[in-house]
Structure 1
Amino acid sequence: MTRFLLLLIPLLLCGDVQSAEYHTDNFSVTCSDAELAQQIGDAAEHFRKQHAVDWLGAELPKWFAPCPVTVKHGNIGAGGATTFSFDQGHVFGWQMNIQGSPQRLLDSVVPHEVLHTVFASHFRRMVPRWADEGACTYCESESERNRNRLIALEEMRPGEMIPIQSLLTMPEYPKDGRKIALFYSQSALLSEFLIDLKGKPEFVAFLSSYFRQPNWLTAFRKHYGQAPEQAYAAAVQVNRPTPFNYDNYHIDYFSQEGCPPCIQFETEQLPALVKAKIKVVKIDLSKSHNKERGKQDGITGTPAFIIYKNGVKQKVIRRPSTAQELLAACAGDKPAKTVQVAQGVGIGYFGPLPGSNPGNRANPHNDLSAAQTQLINQIVDQRSQMAINSTISSRMSELEKLMDSRLKNAILEIQANLTDEQKALINASDDQKAKIAGFTEQIAVIEAGKAKFIEDHEKALVEEREKREALAKEVEAAKTETKSVKEKLAGLAKEGVSTALESATATAGWSVPLSIAGTLVGWFLSRRKEEKTEPAKA
């Protein structure tokens, strides 16, 4: 992984990915197609309102921060991954990544992923896996729901299906890729039966009862009057899918000699297509007369497939595909329903109270302990991994593409944090790298000299400060001594000039300025003159 990461960085540095953004009250959509970005943003707001009313009975308040939505569109497998965190009764840290054709994004992926956010906002805790995915799958297009029914019913053989008690108590998605598709299909089958039986609000009340008393048998009997196994058996009988008629379809299958994926397809997938009674025409591009046909259809690698309906080309798939993917591509050619966008939003906030300043952080709580923060990070990481796993369902081949998209996003983030020197090193030649290394050494020498100068300067400042402090102490001592001498001289002057002069001279010594002695003599002579004058006046 590290080597692959380093190889991708130069590619990302060399070019900018053009993308458009569309913002609504609760979603911030990033997509390379501006029109599609707006359609997805409006659809997300529409389904957020519709789901809240249908399942909860009322609209949700406006989120304190929009949910970022990253869109990858094209002729690729449909899927999505939505992550968020819970703490102290709050849900935050939204992130939604979706991919697929515009049709599947609007009629299946967006409603599916938005319901995850509605449930998270309502319950403020992790919803049991089977119920969360089963309810969200209920919101997908009829062709997708029918595909899930087919998978669930095809795997009814002993040892293949997931036992119902295991399904209800699974804390994580299955690690086995085959079991992931089965997990989704069985969850969808059971959830669809319960929702059709008593409606969406009752399904929400059923989950609330389980949260209050975590016992599935009690919750099933309270809300649906039967045990989980009985409910699933009834779901199998009620939800048997209507077989799709493939009479009007045929598939051109392009292959060539020595192609391992082609051999694998013919061994493992082709029999299922034959069983579904769909016509498959093999075109061997190794034959000279077929090469021109491949060029006309833009086929550059094998295996590849072109799906026709009534002789009209419907879809070109230029990658290895399973029989289920090809059948789903045929069954899913219906146009997406038009989404009527509802205007208006609710009031209120999730996260910090109105008037507080959450800043730019995804986590609005400033008082989390280190242990709480670590726990939240673990939950986010686990949720991210589980959500990624959910996208692969019966399309295991799409996992690599989804991971590639997430990896590119991570690399773009790394790119934004690179220094100019690091960017230069990535794209530099050997000579340029040598020059950069020389400059780096010179900078290091300069920095070392700068540090030494600062150190010496600070040391000199300390010494100067110490000298000033010592001088100040000497001045204070001299002031104190002078004051003491003055006080003694003033006191002794009252007793007689000669005595005071002798005492002052003996006490102060020659350290007292001679000016003081002169002042005292003058004062003494003046005093004597006044004493002689006073008797004469009498």
Structure 2
Amino acid sequence: MKRFILLIPLLLCATALQAAEYRTPNFTVYCSDSDLAQQIGDTAEHFRKQHAQEWLGTELPKWYLPCPVHVKFGQISSGGATSFTFDRGEVTGWKMDIYGTPDRLLDSVVPHEVLHTIFACRYRRALPRWADEGAATYTESEAEQKQYRDAGLQVVGTQEHIPLSNLLSATEYPADGRKVFVFYGQAFVLAEYLLDLKGCPEYVSFLDTYFKTGSWEAAFEKHYGQNPGEAYTGAITANKPPSTPVDYDTYHIDIFVQSDCPPCEKFKTEQLPALMKAKNLKVRIYDMDKDYTWERAKQDGITGTPAFIVYRNERRQAVLQGFRTAEELLAKCKGAKTVKAAQGIGIGYFGPVGGARNDNRANPHQDFSPAQRQLLNDMIDQRSQLAINQTITDRMGDLTGLMKSEIKSFALEVQAKLTDEQKALINATDEQKSIIAGFKGQIEAVEAEKTAFIEKHAAALEEQKKQAEALAAEVKAAKDAAADAQTESLSLKEKLANLAKDGVKTAASGFIGSAMGGTTPPALAMTLIGGIATFLWNRRKKDELAKKA
């Protein structure tokens, strides 16, 4: 009896621990805290809808069975694991285990794990680990992202760094547990670069292409215009701090124009000069007819000209289509500003040491000692010189780019005007040029012989032509004469036949008239004559046909 009584509190405790269950249309959350269970369930539903719209462009249908979510919370490290089974193109056996502080669960772990389920519904197969985890980490809070980003960047150039080929081909996590965090970091650095570059839908299309082709090279080239190595280098470079610390953001604008575009010409004439004068701003101009391709431009979101892409600290901020004024473009670069000479030099109070501060004085610097003023001037000069050097460097870079563009344009124009022979001679060696010259001489000699032959035999050819025409005329005349003779022969035969008929009719008429004593009526006589004549004519024709046979 005592043992039974002791079991009652244990059963009540177990019931209390399992009582916190919260159901949503697609998730069932098990948590010892009912309020947190509801927050996690609602958050999971929110991100399921938001992720599907942002990444796939449409919401997912309701799952046949809800995904169970088991929660462990407290002052512990954050993480999670989502498992499912792919069976004949279907996703089954959902299960999600998450743990961490309540804040991290809601702003990082849940959105991360839910994106795994979105990708599972989309592809119904296992994704490459780096692409799956890199994208899922992209949904976490900035604080969590920074830890992974730092982990991925700190190993660059060290033995801990995972080679790019291994990163892309990995189907499982590193066997060495110490490298798992590095794997997540490198995957996130690359995925973040691609997602910042083109956004979530393009990333999904990028994965679609990989599954169709089985080639990362093809997928990177089609969707980002780079090979994997270039993309990874770009990701590292985009996160690399500037060599000289500055207290302002750097901006640059890529401008896309083309010929026969009045708005482009208007922008270059009216707005570009003012834009080139802006400080702390790089400007690059691309001619769509020569420097860029429309396929790549469409990947960058450009559908016409003029167009502008604004970058802040080498990260794309905005894509603008159509004519824009310099003021509108500079407004997008609101972080670009003139360096303030006295900013950040560590002097926070201007005035006599130990004296009362007088904010009404026209020049508070006058109370500095000569040594203080000299120190301040030196620091200001140093900062000013840094800004000047930076501006000169930027402008020299812009000028170099412009010169390269102009030189390339001129070279393309010249190349377009070259003949095939001139193009062949440009890169030919002396030996090849000698061979080409020999061929050219042989061709000229053959052409000369051809011309002389034609001139020599031109008269003979003309005489043969005339004789042929005369012979054709004679043949035609003979054919015409034969046709006329045939016609005359037919006409003569008809005349003879008619005369024969007339003679028979006359003779018969006289004979019948005599035989009947001249008393036969004319009509009857003619009828008899016609019948006799017809009989004799048919008899003659029959004899002729018999002879021919």
Q: TM-score, normalised by structure 1?
A: 0.42
- Give the structure with higher Rg (CA): 2
Higher relative contact order (CA 8 A, sep 6+): 1
Q: TM-score, normalised by structure 2?
A: 0.41
